Amino acid sequence: MAQVSVQKLGDSCVLIDAGGHRALVDPGFYAWEHDELDLTAMPAPDRLLITHNHQDHLSIEFVQALVAAFPAMVIETNEEVVAHLSDAGIEATTDSAEWTARFDAPHEPTPMGSQPQNVGFIVGGVFSHPGDSYTFDASASVLALPILPPWGSTTEAVALAKRLEPQYVVPIHDWHMTEDGKRWVYGTAIRGLAEEGITLLPLDDFESHLDDTLTAGAGLCNREAVHLMVNEGPKLIGELIDLGVAFNRSAGSLEEEGSGESPDGREPLSLGREGGHSHSRIVYVHDLTGREVERALVEAASAHQNITIFENHIGVDLITEHHLEGIPNGPGMQHSVYGAYVLDTASEKVITFTARITILATGGCGQVYLHTTNPDISTGDGLAMAARAGCSLSNLEFMQFHPTALYGTGDPACLISDAVRGCVGILRHGG
């Protein structure tokens, strides 16, 4: 089986990388409207494959955005959709590439009445996506099976998978709207397939990562902030790689759990699994990830001609009007910041740094607690400086801490990594 990675982007929209060829299949309404996709973070597809003219599988707005973002992409579909796209000024073809192939996959009768003309696609000889149909090319080792009515059911999907015996199954039309009417999540069909012994292609996507984070946050997370973090993460990992961070690479193929596509196009990244995650998502550098990231960032900053690093200097206060006699101070006061007072520990003198723009990025405050795995310099100076300057501090109850440390190793204590819990490590009482 060729290397395959599949990323679900909506009800029936998937991004497939099969043997180095990348195809986006069925850019439908739900993927565009509900996933709020960041196309700048999406790997460029070589082909856009559209099975038929139905909103689940074709959104003109989505296609227009894709054409603007990826002008070299070729759109492949059937004659009906070619004509429909032409009316919108979008060029498409019925000619297949060497690594794509169409096959007849007509719609079965449904309670919704007559349906648009439907075709199926084989990608890289590996992945079969038939739109809403149950007509498959049995030579494919990965099948995209429609699950929910009126397109199908878990029972039908199980029967077909057992008959065709693919290596993997990817469920589509397996999502449902939550009670708040705002988001789509996986339904129970995936569990139904797995319980019948059908092997599901290891799938991870932004929605699954977002759901894991919200669940771990017990409903207290800011959904917009989590959405930003999850969707921007891969792009930022790529930037760290460009800066020289040597993340561990995987010897396995992309379809294996624990391997992930690398933004630089090289061999897959090795992914670890930590507590709260339903998939392996964590890039790492052996057991010294933080040190390697810090090394690369410090080297990049040191090499930048417009950056000067002052070591052994400690922030004391932000310079604002509150240093002037008679100027009131307190949370919510609208002060201007003119720089900072900084202690040079070598000369034991306080130096004035003035600036038009001052950014406060000082790390944590683990050392205010009796026991911590944080380093000695995590003393909360930044929070104190901000408070004295009149800033409003919020969410201080959400201070990160590591719940597992090795007892008796001093302060800071020796950290037992989240990866231990992610690998189902069990904490036992020593007594």
Per-residue pLDDT of the chain (431 residues; tens, 9 = 90+): 556 778 777 778 888 888 788 999 999 887 777 555 678 767 889 999 999 988 888 999 999 999 999 999 999 999 999 999 999 999 999 999 999 999 988 876 655 556 678 899 999 988 999 988 888 887 888 888 887 666 667 777 888 888 888 888 888 877 654 544 444 444 556 666 767 777 776 656 676 788 788 888 888 888 888 888 887 888 888 899 999 999 998 876 555 566 777 777 778 888 887 777 777 788 889 878 888 999 999 999 999 999 999 999 999 999 988 777 667 666 666 778 999 999 999 999 999 999 999 999 887 888 888 888 888 888 888 999 998 888 888 888 887 777 778 877 777 778 787 667 666 677 777 65
Whether 376 is in a domain gets the answer: yes
Number of neighbours of residue 398 by Cβ within 10 angstroms: 9
Helices (H), 17-167: 29-34, 60-69, 79-87, 154-164
Enumerate residues 6+ apart whose C-beta is below 8 A from 318.
337, 339, 340, 341, 358, 360, 385, 386, 388, 389
Which among 163, 161, 165 has a CA at the least distance from the CA of 153?
A: 161
Is residue 62 located within the same domain as residue 115?
A: yes
- Answer whether residue 423 is part of any domain: no
Question: Are residues 303 and 314 part of one domain?
Answer: no
Over its C-alpha atoms, the chain yields an Rg (Å, rounded) of: 27
Q: Which of 184, 202, 220 marks a domain boundary?
A: 202
Give the pLDDT of residue 93.
96
**Domain end point (choices 202, 236, 256):** 202
Q: Which of 383, 381, 161, 417 is nearest to 275 (CA)?
A: 417
Last residue of a domain, one of 172, 202, 232: 202
Distances (CA, A) of 192 to 143, 148, 181, 364: 16, 12, 24, 45
Task: Count other Cβ atoms within 10 Å, centred on residue 118.
Answer: 22
Residues 86 and 192 in one domain: yes
SS3 74: strand
Asked if residue 182 and residue 60 are part of one domain, the reply reads: yes
- The percent helix, strand, coil of the chain (3-state, each to 5) is 25, 20, 55
Q: What is the reported pLDDT for 118?
A: 87
Answer whether residue 429 is part of any domain. no
CATH of the domain at 35: 3.60.15.10
CATH of the domain at 265: 3.50.50.60
> Could you please report the per-residue DSSP string of 133-153?
-----TT-SEEEEE-STTT--
- Cα–Cα nearest to 24, from 32, 34, 13: 13
Considering the domain architecture, whether residues 234 and 357 belong to the same structural domain is answered as no
Tally helices (H) and strands (E) across the chain. Answer: 10, 20
Task: Give the tokens for residue 312.
Answer: 């052994």
Query: 143 and 208 share a domain?
Result: no
**Domain match, 124 and 80 both:** yes
Number of domains in the chain: 3
Question: Is the residue at 431 inside a domain?
Answer: no
Q: Do the domain assignments include residue 184?
A: yes
- The verdict on residue 21 lying in a domain is yes
Beta strand pairing call for 74-76 and 47-49: parallel
Decide if 264 is inside a domain: yes
181 and 258, same domain (yes or no): no
The pTM assigned to this predicted structure is 0.56
Same domain for 183 and 39: yes
Judge if 241 and 189 occupy the same domain: no
Closest to 102 (Cα-Cα) out of 84, 75, 71, 83: 75
Let me know whether 150 and 93 are in one domain.
yes
Report helix, strand or coil for 246: coil
Q: What residues make up the domain containing 119?
A: 4-202
Do 130 and 51 contact (CB within 8 A), yes or no? Answer: yes
Residues 125 and 266 occupy one common structural domain: no
Q: Is 255 helix (H, G, I), strand (E, B) or coil?
A: coil
Q: Does residue 422 sit within a domain?
A: no
